[in-house]
Each structure stands twice: as structure tokens, then as C-alpha cells.
Copies of this chain bind each other. A is one copy, B any other.
Amino acid sequence: MADDIVLYTFWRSSCAHRVRLALAHKKLNYTSVFINLIKGEQLDSRYRQKNPSGYVPAIEIDGHLLTESVAILEYLEETHPQFPLLPKSPYERALVRAAVQMIACGIQPLQNLNVLTKISEDPSAPLAPGTLYNERGKAFARHFNERGLSAFEDNLAAFEKQGVRGPFCFGEQFTMADVLLIPQLAGARRFGVDLTPFKRILRVEQASASLECVIAAAPENQPDFTG
């Protein structure tokens, strides 16, 4: 069954990166189909037959086609519970899921390519051919990465006050909070965010760097990487 998993992915998509991390953490093998977002392949009719929304990731698993990265993570957790990505108690699960939403709703949507393109619309200064957003778009993405990661850092400090110790966001267990955080940091750096004030976040990143799943899922280790 696990061999039949097909992931529609792009090396730079942070949402695809989340799913790559979860699959690798749960030791689920999968085949990649690469959808080049920079070339606009997500809008090709062949892909939209799979995923009409035109976003990556999408996944074929257990005979189903699923979309939306956080919904996919929850599905993997329910159907492939080995190497769990959520704690056991409902309260702790709520804390981890809140951290997930801080990134999934509070940061990533505000640096999405189509959002930055919209922000960059300026009749008096059209974008150069091949350019997807301008300085205004980049500054917008940087602002909301800084704001959101600052809130995430405060949240890690609040976890500490409750007795949570590292190395990961929620203690010794690698959870969905880490699965969301690690891909977001690549985005933050791309937009020029200075991460040095976020000491707890950087500590989590460092602790995660040597994990097999983190290495396997990293953008630069994907066959379609062109960065």
C-alpha cells in the first residue's frame, strides 16, 4: 500500500515540504511527480484534473486523492499512526495544532506567490518579464514572516514556562509544529528575514538538522531542485 503513494511536489513549496517531512518521518515510501510552480505547471490542465485548485501539494494515497497540506498531515496521523506527529493528550494536541495554525494561517498565506504578485500590481511600474513580484511584495512577505515568527518564538517561550524543554518545538517529540516550522524558515530567509533574534526557533532548527526525515525532505535534496 505504502508503495503506491504519489506526491505532487515542488522543491521550493513550503506546503509540499511539510508533507515530504511527515512522509519521511513516518517512513512511508512515495513516488514524486514534480510540478514546477515557477513555470506555472500547477495551472496545466493535466495537473488540474488531479487538483482543480492548482496548488501543490496533492497526494494519491490509499486509493484517494487528497489536497491541503494540513489536512494531509492529519490524514497521515490518523491512518499511519507510527512515529506520531501529535502528542497524546487533547490539551497538548491543541497546543501543537495552535502552533501549526500560527504558521499555516498566520504566515504562509501572506507570502504565497499569487498574493505577492497581487501586492506587486502597479500600473505605473509593471513587473519585468519573468519577474513574479517586486520590492513591495518582498517587503510584505518579510514583514509577516517577522511578525509571525516573533509570535511563534513567544509561543515557544510560553511552552518553556509550562515545563516543555527542547530539543524540538514541543519537547522530545518531533511534532507537526516542527513539520510546519522547518519549511517556513526557508521562506523567511528567502525574503531576507534576520532570524538571529529567534533563539528558540534556531535551536529547534539546529536540533532537527541531523534527523533523517529533515535531510530527506530538504528542498536542496530534491531531484527537481534548481535553487
Interface residues of A (CB under 8 A from B): 52-53, 62, 64, 66-72, 74-75, 78-79, 90-91, 93-95, 97-98, 100-102, 104-106, 108-110, 115, 118-119, 140, 143-144, 151, 154-155, 158
Contact = CB atoms under 8 A, between A and B. Distances in A.
A71 B177 CA distance: 12
A97 B118 contact: no
B53 A75 contact: no
A70 B105 contact: yes
A158 B52 contact: yes
A118 B62 CA distance: 43
19 contacts: A52-B154, A52-B155, A53-B154, A62-B91, A64-B94, A68-B101, A68-B105, A70-B97, A70-B101, A70-B105, A71-B95, A71-B98, A72-B94, A75-B91, A78-B93, A79-B90, A105-B105, A110-B115, A119-B140
Nearest to A114: B147
Q: How many copies of the shown chain assemble into the complex?
A: 2
Given A93-B74, A104-B104, A67 B98 contact: yes
Contacts of A101: 68-71, 104
A213 B215 CA distance: 47
Q: Which are the 7 A-B pairs with shortest beta-carbon distances?
A: A71-B97, A68-B98, A75-B94, A71-B98, A68-B101, A109-B109, A78-B90
Residue of A66, A71, A155 most packed against chain B (CB within 10 A)? A71
Contacts of A115: 110, 144
Contacts of A100: 71
